[in-house]
A and B are shown apart, each in its own frame.
Chain A
Amino acid sequence: MSITKHWKRSLALMAGAALLFSACGDSNDEKTAAKSETSSAAKADAPGVGGKAIGFIFVGPKDDFGYNQAAYDGSEAVKKAYPDLEVLQAENVPETAEAERVVEGMIKKGAKIIFTTSFGHKDYALKIAARHPDVAVLQQGNVIEGKVPANIGTFFGNVYEPVYLAGIAAGKATKTNKLGYVAAFPIPQTLLNINAFQRGAASVNPAVETYTVFTSSWCDPGKQADAAKSLLGQGIDVLTQHQDCTGTIIKTAEAAGAMSVGYHADASSLAPKGWITGSEWDWGPLYVDMVKTVLAGDFTGSKYNDNFRAGYKSDPAEGELSPLVQSIFGPMVTDETKALVEKAKADISGAGSPFAGPVVDQDGVEKVPAGTIPSYADLENMDYLVKGVVGKMPS
């Protein structure tokens, strides 16, 4: 066989690549007329200033009844608030180097503000920030340890606070004293939620236990169904979860006549009978405020250029930006329960905490001494399950 023939075929393949993308027309660039944001000249070189677009990446689909839908809705709020800026959105961006590539594509299109919205996007967010000092990167969830670079920050809400409140409602609602938790991975955010849920429930019902199943996946509906059915088979009558897509577990609970506590989004419509309450996100105001800070050239040194956390205990100004929303109560929640929840919320907003000591782990080891309120930073490193949680962390 002749060599040249192979080269010809090779060329044909590569020409194919060009043909595939060029077949349809001219490649004139209409978008070169950049509309640069107005900002003071002095701050023109601050990170994130002067871009023509804002990029958002999501780890799952934008309409998953869950985490990504909440983040997507937040990005839509930014779109509305800044009509002159193009908002670039990419769904299903895995927590691998794909994320880095997609974001690079957004930067090429003129984005100078990037929101990376999943816990596992952090490492790529850091790389992007290091490579592009002029781009402001906002990482949702996770923590940057040590000195935070000038053009990046993490942010999150203390979602374990509303989860604790939901735990109270679940603890009052359960008839079998067994609650079920479907989780993905034992990351601190998840452990905080499971523990807060159990502690909330136990605060009103000392006999209650929370059975936990880890699925090792943020969203595999088949596995979720297995986990939910396993829990229901043990006589558990309230199901909740820390999964990115939430529909399957809530529908499974409802179909089995069990109750459910939502997470990430209002799914009460999926469970007209069994819905108790839930925790939701409203990222819009916080996203918009972060974009405002960046565009003003004030990002570096601001509270967002750090590990920013919003919770019930925030100062009033931040309180308005709090992304935490407690879902509506379902029909079977009594006024007594609602009052208990209100009381606990007032307590957390004041001096209290879902993790006010003593906190004892599964093995009986005291993790937080009595009379102590752990700091947010301490809590973000949680690596244990509390007493009353049934189930072991996957090994």
Chain B
Amino acid sequence: MTVIDSPPEEITVAPEAPTKGTNDLARRVGSWVVAYLGALAVFGAFMALKGVNPFVAYRDMFDSTLMNSASLSEVLIKAAPFLLAALAVAVPARGGLVNLGGEGQIVMGGIAAAGVALGLEGKVASGLVMVAMLVGAMVAGALWAALAGVLRVGAGINEAISTLLLNYIAIDVLLYLISGPWKDSAGFGQLASKPLADETRLPTFGSDGRIHLGVFIAMAAAVGIWLLLRSTSWGFQLRVAGGNGEAARRAGLPVAKLLLSGLITGGAMAGLAGAIHFAGVEGQLRPGMTFGFGYIGFLASWLAGHHPIRIAGAALLLGAIAVAGDSLQIDAGLPAASVNVLMAFVLFAVLGKKPRLAGASR
């Protein structure tokens, strides 16, 4: 049996195969270094092909992304929704489910937050509006994911496909709302909702006022999900259901409910990502405001083997790469999107590490 025939979970579990001693650790660290250096080399070669000196370009990227506090805060702001979007993938993955719908769940979260703000702003205390926005967004993201969950456990429709389709519907719902009922009447016909009042925006920190509360919410969520999966019986049961559904069912576990709850929890995380980006950064619903967050979150989760704490690191890495794209453009004159090539090769290097014992772990 070839490797591709094994379900996704097997592959993620595999790198955690028992390690033996420092020799093995050194080998693993070595292989990470090789992977990253390889990715840098490949992208460097592409840059050189376009007549850009890769050494200068990398130095500029490093300088302008990680060498000052202002750009570091941009990385954190960028990474926060990635982190939550990745948790949206990691939790269902525990139950063996593939959530490709972060993109749409994030959008629904943003929509809910905006809807709550439209309804409550000026009527109740702004702190309450904020809490309601976050909670509303989590509910909306959870419901959007639950749709796919119900289709999965009810009709047997594969959740990877249904969540993918739901992404497009969510984006169309957003565009419909901001081009029609929720269009800002003072917005000169632009597709955007009414801006959030200053006092209902998430509080910010630091001298430049860029880091918002959502960054800390995301970090807390990562720890919370980690504890939930690790220390609760729900987390354990979800894992069992994901590992061998048949056995879990025979053991009396409510498999359908577990899977649904996994997907719903994930959806809530994605909804939260939409809310913090809306209330912490954008302040308005706009077309494309969270474009790609869900997919990048998906990759961050895979990069980190679906482990909540490692995901924080992966989200930071992908956030840093995204911000470094600005430097490519400003300093090297390359299109910002070309940084995706670098991201792709980092991911190839990690995804394509042939898992040892993959076949045997079955």
User: Measuring CB to CB, which residues of chain A are less than 8 angstroms from any residue of chain B?
Assistant: 1, 5-27, 29, 55, 61, 88-97, 101-102, 104-106, 108-109, 119-120, 123, 131, 142-143, 145, 185-188, 190-191, 216, 381, 383, 394-395
Contact = CB atoms under 8 A, between A and B. Distances in A.
Contacts, number: 169
A96 B312 contact: no
A171 B241 CA distance: 70
B158 interface: no
Contact of B316 (A13, A91, A92): A13
Given A20-B346, A23-B37, A119-B190, A13 B289 contact: no
Contact of B70 (A93, A95, A104, A190): A104
B320 interface: yes
Given A13-B310, A14-B313, A16-B36, A108 B71 contact: yes
Interface string B35-58: 011011000100000000011001
Interface of B: 16, 19, 25, 29, 32-33, 36-37, 39-40, 44, 54-55, 58-59, 61-68, 70-71, 74, 77-78, 175, 179-180, 186, 188-192, 195, 208-210, 277, 281-282, 284, 286, 288-289, 291, 303-305, 307, 309-310, 312-314, 316-317, 320-321, 323-324, 326-327, 329-330, 333, 335-337, 342, 346
Contact of B335 (A11, A91, A381): A91
A97 B303 CA distance: 26
A21 B62 contact: yes
A7 B223 CA distance: 12
A61 B335 CA distance: 9
A94 B286 CA distance: 10
A291 to B, nearest CB: 18
Query: Shortest 5 CB-CB distances between A and B: which pairs?
Result: A21-B62, A13-B313, A187-B189, A10-B313, A24-B58
A142 B289 contact: no
A145 B313 CA distance: 43
B26 to A, nearest CB: 12
Interface centre among B179, B303, B321, B330 (most CB of A within 10 A): B330
Given A12-B29, A97-B282, A101-B74, A92 B335 contact: yes
B326 A23 contact: no
B337 A92 contact: yes
Contacts of A123: 195, 284
Contacts of B329: 90-91, 102
A106 B326 CA distance: 9
Contacts of A6: 307, 309-310
